[in-house]
């Protein structure tokens, strides 16, 4: 049996929803809802990854809004700064270890420092299903 690739680049999502740091937080939250995603990379005008906005970030903001009566602001004020990333050529097994030992559900994928995709737990599960077919 021929072994299949077990490299991030072969299983990552490359058609990404990204957010601008100056986007209204409510618009960003609705982008997550509309696209049925649990987080999106935040990139600056140069295309550099500067953060990630996750459901967790939005949920934390909603609790604040409940107590303070306002839900507003822009993405850069609520995003997670300097998100942990993986390299496009990393082994999926290394990513699995990161998922097991950490709290993240997805990682931005970089190649030479540039955002090229996102790999999620679901992407890794699909890869494992291909690697170990029934």
- Asked if residue 87 belongs to a domain, the reply is yes
pLDDT of residue 1: 44
pLDDT tens digits for range 99-110: 999 888 899 999
Per-residue pLDDT tens for 62-73? 776 666 666 678
- Kindly state whether residue 2 falls inside one of the protein's structural domains: no
pTM: 0.83
Is 1 domain-assigned?
A: no
Predicted local confidence at residue 61, as pLDDT: 84
Residue 14: domain span: 8-131
Supply the CATH number for residue 95's domain.
3.10.580.10
Residue 96 lies in a domain: yes
Does 80 reside within a domain?
Answer: yes
Which positions of the chain have pLDDT values less than 50? 1-2
Q: How confident is the model at residue 53, as a pLDDT?
A: 95
Q: How far apart are CA 66 and CA 121, in angstroms?
A: 31
Q: How many domains does the chain have?
A: 1
Q: How far apart are CA 51 and CA 20, in angstroms?
A: 10
Residue 3 domain-assigned (yes or no): no
Which tokens in the block code for residue 37?
Answer: 């995603």
């Amino acid at each position: 049996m021929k072994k299949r690739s077990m490299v991030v680049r072969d299983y990552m999502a490359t058609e990404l929803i990204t957010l601008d740091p100056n986007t209204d937080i409510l618009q960003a939250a609705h982008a997550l809802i509309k696209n049925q995603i649990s987080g999106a990379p935040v990139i600056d005008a140069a295309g550099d990854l500067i953060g990630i906005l996750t459901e967790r970030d939005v949920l934390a903001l909603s609790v604040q809004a409940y107590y303070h009566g306002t839900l507003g602001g822009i993405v850069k004020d609520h995003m997670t700064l300097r998100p942990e990333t993986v390299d496009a050529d990393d082994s999926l097994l290394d990513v699995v270890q990161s998922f097991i030992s950490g709290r993240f559900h997805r990682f931005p994928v970089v190649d030479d420092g540039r955002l090229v995709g996102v790999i999620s737990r679901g992407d890794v599960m699909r890869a494992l299903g291909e690697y170990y077919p029934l």
